[in-house]
A and B are shown apart, each in its own frame.
Chain A
Amino acid sequence: MIEPPSTSASELEQLPDPAIVYRALRKGWIDKDRSIVKADAYYLRKRINEQGISVNFSIEQSLSAIRNCEGVASITAGDIRSIGLDLVRDSSSHASIIGLPYREDDRPKADELALLLARRSIIVWQPSQP
């Protein structure tokens, strides 16, 4: 996974509501019965002190984030903000969804926000079946 560069808060750029960002989906993050994104795609990892959910500005950039990527999902900045979170750009190719708690610190809120992000996501790329 490409980690965001260290950037001070004042350097982070707010993105407009229509901005679309892409999240690489690892194995198990797609509900194959319904072809929807699962909440698993939107948890912060406390183990590495992750501060935001890593997203990119193109499908191609997301594909390079995880080898054997199972799919790529899109979500808009407006949808992210509609549930009280925020989206900030931290480099030319990378942005972060911020405002989520770690599951270890607030299980109900982390589970609910992850689910709401998943429900607002659309699968835009999947590998072709053999």
Chain B
Amino acid sequence: MTVANEKIAESSSKGLLNFRITVERLIELLDLEDEDEYGILKPTEYAFKTAMKSIVQAYDVLGGNFPKASAATDDRGSITLDWTSLEPDRTVRLFCPFSQEQPVDIFHHTEDEYAVEDIISSPTLVYWLHWFNET
């Protein structure tokens, strides 16, 4: 195997590992108690399906460049997936609402700017994860 091939294999395996960790973190949310003092803990079926569909579509495009995310629910069962870098300071947050009455959106942040964008097609998350990877 050439050095170039080794690097491709290493990158591909890292992206797969990151994807698997992200999926496992999403699945772990389903094992949470239904609620705690703050509100709902377990995600709704709509939020879970939306999050899972979004990351599968992103992994299909990004493959070895898929970054690892952390997952959490809000008090109504919506899911947020966070991609965080401290140096440089970059964050991408995918919000998957508890019901279809709210939009799926992406927040991005750097030291100098921030914005929220509704997701109207799957390339939106891919675009922001490409941006996140430019570190």
Show the binding face of A for B, using Cβ within 8 Å.
1, 26-29, 31-34, 36, 38-40, 43, 45, 47, 65-68, 104, 107-108, 111-112, 115
Tell me whether B105 and A107 are in contact (CB under 8 A).
Answer: yes
Instruction: Name the B residues within 8 Å of A67 (CB-CB).
Output: 36-37
Per-residue 0/1 for B64-106: is the Cβ within 8 Å of any A Cβ (1 yes, 0 no)?
0000101111111000101010100001010000000010010
Instruction: Name the B residues within 8 Å of A34 (CB-CB).
Output: 84, 86
Instruction: Name the B residues within 8 Å of A1 (CB-CB).
Output: 37-38
- Bound form: Cα–Cα A107–B82 in Å: 16
Range, interface on chain B: 20 to 34
Does chain A have a CB within 8 A of B109? yes
Does chain A have a CB within 8 A of B41? yes
Tell me whether A33 and B70 are in contact (CB under 8 A).
Answer: yes
Contacts A39-B82, A47-B39, A108-B115 given; indicate if A33 touches B68 (C-beta within 8 A).
yes
Tell me whether A38 and B72 are in contact (CB under 8 A).
Answer: yes
Number of A-B contacts (CB under 8 A): 71
Q: Which 4 pairs show the lowest CB-CB distances between chains A and B?
A: A28-B72, A111-B107, A1-B37, A107-B116
Contacts A112-B109, A115-B91, A115-B109 given; indicate if A40 touches B36 (C-beta within 8 A).
no
Tell me whether A47 and B76 are in contact (CB under 8 A).
Answer: yes
The residue of chain B having its C-beta at the shortest distance from the C-beta of A65 within the complex is B37
Does chain A have a CB within 8 A of B29? yes
- Bound form: Cα–Cα A36–B84 in Å: 10
Tell me whether A45 and B75 are in contact (CB under 8 A).
Answer: yes
Question: Could you list 22 A-B pairs, sorted by A, with CB under 8 Å?
Answer: A1-B38, A26-B41, A28-B71, A28-B73, A33-B68, A33-B84, A38-B70, A38-B72, A38-B82, A39-B82, A40-B72, A40-B80, A43-B74, A45-B39, A47-B75, A66-B38, A68-B36, A107-B105, A111-B107, A111-B109, A111-B116, A112-B114
Instruction: Name the A residues within 8 Å of B8 (CB-CB).
Output: none
Contact residues, B15-65 vs A (CB, 8 A): 29, 32-33, 36-39, 41
The residue of chain B having its C-beta at the shortest distance from the C-beta of A116 within the complex is B109
Tell me whether A108 and B107 are in contact (CB under 8 A).
Answer: yes
- The distance from the CB of A16 to the nearest CB of chain B, in whole angstroms, is 28
